[in-house]
Amino acid sequence: MNTSEFRRRGKEMVDYVADYMEGIEGRQVYPDVEPGYLRPLIPDSAPQEPDTFEDIINDIEKIIMPGVTHWHSPYFFAYFPTASSYPAMLADMLCGAIGCIGFSWAASPACTELETVMMDWLGKMLELPKAFLTENAGEGGGVIQGSASEATLVALLAARTKAIHRLQAASPELTQAAIMEKLVAYSSDQVVATLGTTTCCSFDNLLEVGPICNKEDMWLHVDAAYAGSAFICPEFRHLLNGVEFADSFNFNPHKWLLVNFDCSAMWVKKRSDLTGAFRLDPTYLKHSHQDSGLITDYRHWQIPLGRRFRSLKMWFVFRMYGVKGLQAYIRKHVQLSHEFESLVLQDPRFEICAEVTLGLVCFRLKGSNKVNEALLQRINSAKKIHLVPCHLRDKFVLRFAICSRTVESAHVQRAWEHIKELAADVLRAERE
Amino acid sequence: MNTSEFRRRGKEMVDYVADYMEGIEGRQVYPDVEPGYLRPLIPDSAPQEPDTFEDIINDIEKIIMPGVTHWHSPYFFAYFPTASSYPAMLADMLCGAIGCIGFSWAASPACTELETVMMDWLGKMLELPKAFLTENAGEGGGVIQGSASEATLVALLAARTKAIHRLQAASPELTQAAIMEKLVAYSSDQVVATLGTTTCCSFDNLLEVGPICNKEDMWLHVDAAYAGSAFICPEFRHLLNGVEFADSFNFNPHKWLLVNFDCSAMWVKKRSDLTGAFRLDPTYLKHSHQDSGLITDYRHWQIPLGRRFRSLKMWFVFRMYGVKGLQAYIRKHVQLSHEFESLVLQDPRFEICAEVTLGLVCFRLKGSNKVNEALLQRINSAKKIHLVPCHLRDKFVLRFAICSRTVESAHVQRAWEHIKELAADVLRAERE
């Protein structure tokens, strides 16, 4: 495919994408396919000679779309949101074209420097303590990871390296095995200190756990994968209080801040804690500025060596929405979840199972787990909306998460009417 | 930005991307900027009110491009190639629009199933042993990882879990610490068994190391991050001989197979070795098919929970190039590296430092490391081409890697003329 064909096909793809987004409400949110549906639909090996672009674009509707769960449908209320916005998609096109690998400053200075500044912008939006920022020659700084799991792993390995060095310095006679036996990682049932758990969006109290960690010289990593985006609104910022005690903090703009996956934002108070754990300096990656103290080589901050120019997505989204636009987006979702909550509360057959703080409502029919499992089964079989469950203590609970960028009150109302109808069916079937 | 504005801006961005690719040869391959150049050029925090798209697109040329190292310039011969092709970019646009997270089969069946089939397609292109494929209900299978580092980490953790289970079964009285002390990982100076090292593209002999690993019941992971793409050509396939002894194998189509970053292909002989090490099953990720044995939940195969629909890129690229087109692409690069090699060999001032097998030529001026460091410094200061060095034993060596999709014989010839001129300057300066 030469450049002039790309101009044509690229514009066709832009229209395909726009049509898809515009018409997504009309697609069934959860697919009908059974496991193994796809393999019989395509050849069992790659073609020797090229197929045409028309062949491929036709196969998208024929082969791919029937098996897609439409995460951006306004009837998708499952898991947590995954971000989608047009500015982020435009930025991703540019990112693909530049196609640089940002493992060192020299490998593409703009890729590294924009990331550092965007992480400062975002840190300021959250009112993170200055210690986490890079500007004004601080010791802290931010980095984009691929996922919260990677951020947690990076924090854990950095904490481990730091603890080992401390033990080695204090007791040089200890063997490596003896040191390993002394290492302890404390976690809640969600792994690390969590703001906004996946099950029910509950919050750990950092003001309690933080000072203890600091006193005991323990690394504190705080994960706010979903909830973090809300902290750009002053009325939710108090949920982040205590982050000043943390060594590292992470949340996912790719969930709720309109920056398409993947973009997991991680800050540390001491950059040297990361670079001490992950430093990798083969000759072919050395460059003249690297020991100047002036630059960042992000490969020392993460597990992978390669990295995309992901800060472009942040730059486009932050600028094209503005802070106020992003705040309005968060507030609209929170308002919709409270709207759903009040609908549930008006129906005496149902109960709310956890405080509704942000965009997630945990609810169930008063009664057995069995009846709630039956309700969820009916909901997901009908495929008009899509939900997933959780367990809170021993109760089987339905999660209603406000997800889509385009979800409105009307969708929430329709979803609730649908749930009520199915609930009536379930309760009738139970009585019979 | 609403959908109709996206249609317009998306098409403008397609043209911007096409213009960039078309004009890349005219851009200086390595930027002039100094560390810290970017921060003064942009505001120190995100705007409260939205900026316009025009503002942003203007800033790309003003702020971003001056700091970009142009990896796709035909004068870029540094590191290793990173893939770039129009079909992959088109697929990425679609991937961004679908925007599903593929952590389980149910989260988007097409995302999981296309990946499984594409990994079989690719495995067959490489003539991998059938044990690594999923089709015909085998025990093996492939997965797309983000990078070779992640694939290595995943293999290491799976191997560790397997070894621990074996030791626990054989000696139930052992404490965890005692087991940890018994674990051994063997590696070469490139970490794992490597086909095509980064420094000089050398090859470990799997036919020697493989049988020993099998006999000793040791996990063998083989990394062919760069070189792997070449194995789709029958004349290079022998370099992969011995992979039949491996437990896991990995290479990066995002380097040399025209599938844009990130796409690191990993196969294992036993899927259960991965899923045993990484299994994660909270209620909210359970779905009705998961224990059927019919489906794959890729979250059990990797470190992150979330994953993009990356197999679309493979599908577009394999179909729009065809196997023959991909083979022709590899062969052209190998031919260009041999062309450069023969130019070097014709000049008695220079020497070739490692066998040229694929697309990398390691060369140097006969003489001291100092003179070669001076030559590289002149090359990268002139910024007409871009190279990085390596150390082979104690020698400072220049790496000339064929990288760009659009590089032709004329670029290689011009690069060599330029290197010769600068070498003459360096040698003259040394004599004076």
Q: For testing the chain A interface, which of B2, B4, B13, B292 should be mutated: the one with the most A CBs within 10 Å?
A: B13
Judged by CB atoms closer than 8 Å, whether chains meet at B94 and A60 is answered as yes
User: Could you report the per-residue pLDDT of A304-342, keeping only the tens digit for each?
Assistant: 888 999 999 999 999 999 999 999 999 999 999 999 999
User: Could you report the per-residue pLDDT of B131-173, keeping only the tens digit for each?
Assistant: 999 998 789 999 999 999 899 989 998 998 999 888 889 998 9
Asked whether residue B291 carries a pLDDT value surpassing 90, the answer given is no
Scan for tokens 């108090």, then name that residue.
A238
B262 upstream amide cis, omega within 30 of 0? yes
Q: What is the mean pLDDT of residues A60-86?
A: 98
What is the pLDDT at residue A386?
98
User: Could you report the per-residue pLDDT of A346-355, keeping only the tens digit for each?
Assistant: 999 999 999 9
User: Closest partner residue to B284 among A90, A316, A389, by Cβ?
Assistant: A389
Asked whether residue A188 carries a pLDDT value surpassing 80, the answer given is no
Average pLDDT, chain B: 94
Contacts with A323 from chain B: Cβ below 8 Å: 46-48
Q: For testing the chain B interface, which of A5, A8, A14, A20 should be mutated: the one with the most B CBs within 10 Å?
A: A14
Asked whether residue B177 carries a pLDDT value surpassing 80, the answer given is no
pLDDT band at A39; cut points 50, 70, 90 = very high
Least confident span in A115-129, B58-72, B158-172, B333-347: B158-172
Express the helix, strand and coil content of chain A in percent, nearest 5 each: 50, 10, 40
- The residue in chain A having the minimum alpha-carbon distance to the alpha carbon of residue B79 is A284
Rounded CA separation B234/B145 (Å): 26
Asked whether residue B294 carries a pLDDT value surpassing 80, the answer given is no
Judged by CB atoms closer than 8 Å, whether chains meet at B14 and A6 is answered as yes
DSSP string for B174-204: --HHHHHHH------TTSSEEBS-TTT--B-
- Which alpha helices (DSSP H) does B24-147 contain, by range? 53-59, 86-98, 109-125
Rounded CA separation B113/B109 (Å): 6
Q: What is the mean pLDDT of residues A29-39?
A: 96
Scan for tokens 């639909």, then name that residue.
A41
User: Could you report the per-residue pLDDT of A225-273, keeping only the tens digit for each?
Assistant: 999 999 999 999 999 999 999 999 999 999 999 999 999 999 999 998 9
**A196 three-class SS:** coil
Contacts with A72 from chain B: Cβ below 8 Å: 99
Judged by CB atoms closer than 8 Å, whether chains meet at A36 and B294 is answered as yes
What is the pLDDT at residue A56?
96
Higher pLDDT, B4 or A136: B4
What is the pLDDT at residue A274?
87
Q: Which amino acid is at B212?
A: I
User: Could you report the per-residue pLDDT of A368-392, keeping only the tens digit for each?
Assistant: 999 999 999 999 999 999 999 999 9
Q: Which amino acid is at A167?
A: L
Asked whether residue B13 carries a pLDDT value surpassing 90, the answer given is yes
Q: What is the mean pLDDT of residues A66-90?
A: 98
User: Closest partner residue to B45 among A42, A121, A306, by Cβ?
Assistant: A121
Q: What is the mean pLDDT of residues B333-347?
A: 98
Judged by CB atoms closer than 8 Å, whether chains meet at A14 and B11 is answered as yes
User: Could you report the per-residue pLDDT of A356-371, keeping only the tens digit for each?
Assistant: 999 999 999 999 999 9
Contacts with A1 from chain B: Cβ below 8 Å: 85-87, 320
Rounded CA separation A308/A305 (Å): 10
pLDDT band at B288; cut points 50, 70, 90 = confident
User: Closest partner residue to B35 among A51, A111, A292, by Cβ?
Assistant: A292
Chain A: give the shortest CA distance to residue B351, in Å.
Answer: 19
CA-wise closest residue to B282 among B416, B103, B93, B421: B103
Rounded CA separation B14/A262 (Å): 22
Q: For testing the chain A interface, which of B8, B17, B258, B391 should be mutated: the one with the most A CBs within 10 Å?
A: B17
What is the pLDDT at residue B192?
79
What is the pLDDT at residue B194?
87
Q: What is the mean pLDDT of residues B362-379?
A: 97
User: Could you report the per-residue pLDDT of B119-137, keeping only the tens digit for each?
Assistant: 999 999 999 999 999 998 7
Scan for tokens 């003896």, then name that residue.
A178
Judged by CB atoms closer than 8 Å, whether chains meet at B35 and A285 is answered as no
Percent over 70 (pLDDT), chain A: 100
CA-wise closest residue to B314 among B359, B269, B265: B265
Q: What is the mean pLDDT of residues B167-185?
A: 85
The neighbour count for residue A265, using CB atoms within 10 Å, is 28
pLDDT band at A34; cut points 50, 70, 90 = very high
* Residue-wise burial string across B384-407, b where 16 or more C-beta atoms lie within 10 A, e elsewhere: bbbbbbbebeeebbbbbbbbbbeb
CB-CB contact of B159 with B165 (8 Å): no
CA-wise closest residue to A299 among B144, B148, B200: B148
User: Closest partner residue to A318 among B21, B46, B303, by Cβ?
Assistant: B46
What is the pLDDT at residue B75?
98
Scan for tokens 């810290």, then name that residue.
B36
pLDDT band at A278; cut points 50, 70, 90 = confident
User: Could you report the per-residue pLDDT of B381-427, keeping only the tens digit for each?
Assistant: 999 999 999 999 999 999 999 999 999 999 999 999 999 999 999 99
Higher pLDDT, B259 or A188: B259
pLDDT band at B14; cut points 50, 70, 90 = very high
Strand order across the B248-251 sheet? B141-145, B264-268, B248-251, B221-223, B193-194
Distance of CA A410 to the CA centre of its chain: 26
What is the pLDDT at residue B229?
98
Q: For testing the chain B interface, which of A4, A100, A324 should be mutated: the one with the most B CBs within 10 Å?
A: A100
| Backbone dihedral region for residue B419 (phi beyond 0: left; psi -120 to 50: alpha; all else: beta) | alpha
Asked whether residue A103 carries a pLDDT value surpassing 80, the answer given is yes
**A161 three-class SS:** helix
Asked whether residue B290 carries a pLDDT value surpassing 80, the answer given is no
Rounded CA separation A232/B198 (Å): 43
User: Could you report the per-residue pLDDT of A120-162, keeping only the tens digit for each?
Assistant: 999 999 999 999 999 987 899 999 999 998 999 899 989 988 9
The residue count for chain A: 432
Contacts with A21 from chain B: Cβ below 8 Å: 3, 6, 97
CB-CB contact of A372 with A365 (8 Å): yes
Residue A404 in tokens: 């889509």
Judged by CB atoms closer than 8 Å, whether chains meet at A14 and B68 is answered as no
Judged by CB atoms closer than 8 Å, whether chains meet at B121 and A46 is answered as yes
What is the pLDDT at residue B175?
83
What is the pLDDT at residue B418?
98
Asked whether residue B289 carries a pLDDT value surpassing 90, the answer given is no
What is the pLDDT at residue A305?
83
Asked whether residue B277 carries a pLDDT value surpassing 80, the answer given is no
Percent over 90 (pLDDT), chain A: 79
- The residue in chain A having the minimum alpha-carbon distance to the alpha carbon of residue B116 is A39
CA-wise closest residue to A65 among B312, B103, B322, B11: B312
Rounded CA separation A364/A395 (Å): 9
What is the pLDDT at residue B180?
80
Q: Which residues contact A357 (CB under 8 A, 6 or more apart)?
A: A196, A201, A203, A227, A236, A239
* Residue-wise burial string across B100-130, b where 16 or more C-beta atoms lie within 10 A, e elsewhere: bbbbbbbbbbbbbbbbbbbbbbbbbbbebbe
Contacts with A260 from chain B: Cβ below 8 Å: 96, 99
Contacts with B60 from chain A: Cβ below 8 Å: 94
Q: For testing the chain B interface, which of A58, A94, A258 should be mutated: the one with the most B CBs within 10 Å?
A: A94
Q: What is the mean pLDDT of residues B58-87?
A: 98
What is the pLDDT at residue A181?
80
Q: What is the mean pLDDT of residues B226-240?
A: 97
Chain A: give the shortest CA distance to residue B388, in Å.
Answer: 5
ipTM of the complex model: 0.95
CA-wise closest residue to A429 among A369, A351, A389, A374: A374
What is the pLDDT at residue B293?
72
Chain A: give the shortest CA distance to residue B93, in Å.
Answer: 7
Chain B: give the shortest CA distance to residue A347, in Å.
Answer: 25
